[in-house]
Amino acid sequence: MAELSRVTGVPVATIKYYLREGLLPRGEVTTSPNQARYGEEHVRRLALVRSLVEVGGLSIASVRAVLAAVDDPAVPLHHTLGLTIDAADAPTPAVDDPPHTAAAERIDAIIAERGWRLSPDPIARRAAIDVLATMQRVTADRLTGIAEVYAEAVERVAEADLDTVTAVEDRPTRVETALVGTVLGERLLAALRRLAQEHVSAQRFPPPPETPCPSPSAQDPSRP
């Protein structure tokens, strides 16, 4: 285990935690009672778990559920990918107030218009409805119309995502690629969107030339 920690850079305490939580298979038992043999698959699984938890922000329970599907060859690939996709999102309870009903109509109209064929009530649909209802509550109709533009943009993104998955032949690697792509891709998409926003904002609202741009690295959001 000390060796596994050295190779991967993951602290021994963290490895023990992942073992206890069932996120990492136990090492092969050796003749010495205090030793176990860890191989290439442990190194790889450890890198995957760590990226999902530390960079992706997934809960231990979500990672466990996803890995169970990854490791079960009987689960059809599309369903495994679905689990993978859903894991990034905690299920949102269905809410029945008028803003949610209106938001649900909007989202379902977008799904129908784009011809998306989906399972009956995907977790992501409810998440989208919840966000749209909150936007409506806070900004009235000011954010109307962005959902349609977003839907068009993510269709191209999803095609690229699935291209990366399709390019891989072997099933575990394929599912791993989908998982990392979905969870980390979300972060990448968000970061690039903020860069694009800064660019477009500077075009629309040019800062006065006499005011030097504060260095964003000095903008500490935790300052009082």
Task: Kindly state the smallest distance separating residue 1's Cβ from its own copies, in Å.
Answer: 21
Task: Kindly state the smallest distance separating residue 94's Cβ from its own copies, in Å.
Answer: 9
The residue among 37 and 199 lying less far from its own copies, judged by its C-beta, is 199
Task: Kindly state the smallest distance separating residue 3's Cβ from its own copies, in Å.
Answer: 19
The residue among 101 and 197 lying less far from its own copies, judged by its C-beta, is 197
Task: Kindly state the smallest distance separating residue 30's Cβ from its own copies, in Å.
Answer: 28
The residue among 38 and 183 lying less far from its own copies, judged by its C-beta, is 183
What CA–CA distance (Å, rounded) separates 108 from 111?
5
The residue among 34 and 169 lying less far from its own copies, judged by its C-beta, is 169
The SS3 call for residue 55 is helix
What CA–CA distance (Å, rounded) separates 82 from 85?
5
In order of 62, 63, 126, the CA distances from 24 in angstroms are 14, 11, 31
Helix (H), strand (E), coil (C) string for 13-32: HHHHHHHHCCCCCCCEECCC
